[in-house]
Amino acid sequence: MEGFLVVLAFLALFMLGFPVVLAIGIPCVIYIFANGLPIDLVAQRTLYALDSFPLVAVPVFLFVGSVMNSAGISRYIYQFADTAVGRMPGGLAQVNIFGSLIFAGMSGSALADIGGLGRIEIDAMRKKGFSGPFAAAVTSSSAIVGPIFPPSIPLIIYGTVTGVSVIQLLLGGIVPGLLCVAMLMLMTWWLAHRRKYPRAARWPTRSELWHDFKPAFPAIVAPVLLIAGMLLGWFTPTEIASVTVLYAILISSLFYRELTWQGVLDAAYETIRASSGILLIVAVAALFGWILSVESVPQKLTGIMLSISTNPYVLLIMVNVLLIIVGMFLDSTTAILVIAPIIAKPLVAAGVDPVHLGMVVVFNLMIGLLTPPMGLALFLVADIAKVTMKDVLKEMLPYYLPLGITLLLITYVPEITTWIPRIALAP
């Protein structure tokens, strides 16, 4: 019972506008004192939560995204995407989505995509006659590919809290990421036909394509190198994060020659702000998770869920509904830390593959970045595009359909997620 009270207290404080770290931490500390538990527990649980090697990848991958934006790599990605798919119906809207896929191959963060590449895309779309809210809607919906396609910060956090292999999770994100991009492009195609959106006058010639491919090549080839390095056992996922930073800095300073010391400093400060904010929540959430397990909340929930049905497909429907509601109110990191340890047990007990479940959880919560009231991607994109949240939401409506279909496909066709990890890591 006390476990559920801690959860309710967290929700109440969160709704009142307490910072997440306090909304989680205050009920936990009250629980510790009320039960006469030693205060050492607070310090030990909080500190040991961060004593994890996979988590080292979180700030380092955030740094990659910031360096890419500071170094102008995002601009070259955009230029190539414009040449490659600008002629497709939907023009720059398709460029926006395709550009996000390339960006996703080096950065694992949706907000880094919106803050860097998104800024360029929204300006360009406006100049070509697209409305600000539509440009913002395409930018934010395509940005969620970043945390699905490897590398991915939310998948690393999910793997850390549930003990699922981070390598398998990252490999599992390849097909869902591509599928999501295809669905978004199809919707854009349909909207472009209805609304008569502008597009490039002609398809590029081979030399034009080659001209813009060359500067984008180092960014395009990065995910191939990273995945190969991981599969060949050269690096762990955490080491890949460091290799990607080195790679981004090297190509920025030697190839693009646009990275300045001030750019590196700005990227570093941005990374420190974002990563310490996220990881402090990870630390305090460990205390929360410990209390839930002491109070047998996951076991009780397992009992309740399995008493309703033991069919994994029915359980996955329940999880999807729960996560969509949770995603509306919690930011993705908090939701993974709070929800994943609770739901993983009953679902895995019912026969759901842990890697598949990880993808369902993370994709669902990425849609949560685009749903009010706590849609961080919406806040950021509305701020950058200087439009109201209401207008962005109106333009977002058609895009919830491809995202929903992708979610359903990921949920009910596990092979979409498990196929690559299975063949890549087969003995």
Partner 1 sequence: MRLLRFIRTAVRWISLALLAALVITPLAQITMRGIFNVPMAGAEELARYFLICLTFIAASYVTEQGGQIRMEEFQGLVPPKPRWLLQLLIDLSGAVFFAVLFVAAVVTIRNNLQNQTAVMELPFWLFMAPLAIGSLLLVVETLVMLVHTWRRRRPEEKHTVLT
Interface residues with partner 1 (CB under 8 A) are: 14-23, 25-26, 29, 39-44, 46-47, 50-53, 55-56, 59-60, 63, 111, 115, 234-235, 238-239, 241-243, 245-246, 265, 268-281, 283, 329, 331, 333-334, 372-374, 376, 379-380, 383
Do residues 131 and 176 lie in contact, with contact meaning Cβ atoms separated by under 8 Å? no
Minimum separation from the CB atom of position 180 to partner 1 (A): 23
Measure the CA–CA gap between 161 and 168, rounded to whole angstroms: 15
Q: Which is nearer to partner 1, 15 or 182 (CB)?
A: 15
Q: Which is nearer to partner 1, 73 or 243 (CB)?
A: 243
Minimum separation from the CB atom of position 348 to partner 1 (A): 27
Q: Which is nearer to partner 1, 164 or 281 (CB)?
A: 281
Minimum separation from the CB atom of position 26 to partner 1 (A): 6
Close Cβ partners of 307 (under 8 Å, ≥ 6 residues apart): none
Q: Which is nearer to partner 1, 150 or 237 (CB)?
A: 237
Longest Cα–Cα distance of the chain, Å, equals 74
Minimum separation from the CB atom of position 279 to partner 1 (A): 4
Measure the CA–CA gap between 124 and 182, rounded to whole angstroms: 22
Minimum separation from the CB atom of position 313 to partner 1 (A): 32
Q: Which is nearer to partner 1, 250 or 314 (CB)?
A: 250
How many of the other CB atoms lie within 10 Å of CB of 141?
Answer: 30
Minimum separation from the CB atom of position 383 to partner 1 (A): 7
Measure the CA–CA gap between 387 and 133, rounded to whole angstroms: 6
Q: Which is nearer to partner 1, 29 or 405 (CB)?
A: 29
Q: Which is nearer to partner 1, 51 or 206 (CB)?
A: 51
Measure the CA–CA gap between 86 and 97, rounded to whole angstroms: 11
Minimum separation from the CB atom of position 291 to partner 1 (A): 15
With H, G, I as helix, E, B as strand and everything else as coil, classify residue 323. Answer: helix
Hey, what amino acid is at 298? P
- CA-nearest of 353, 344, 335, 372 to 411 is 353
Measure the CA–CA gap between 236 and 214, rounded to whole angstroms: 29
Do residues 126 and 163 lie in contact, with contact meaning Cβ atoms separated by under 8 Å? no
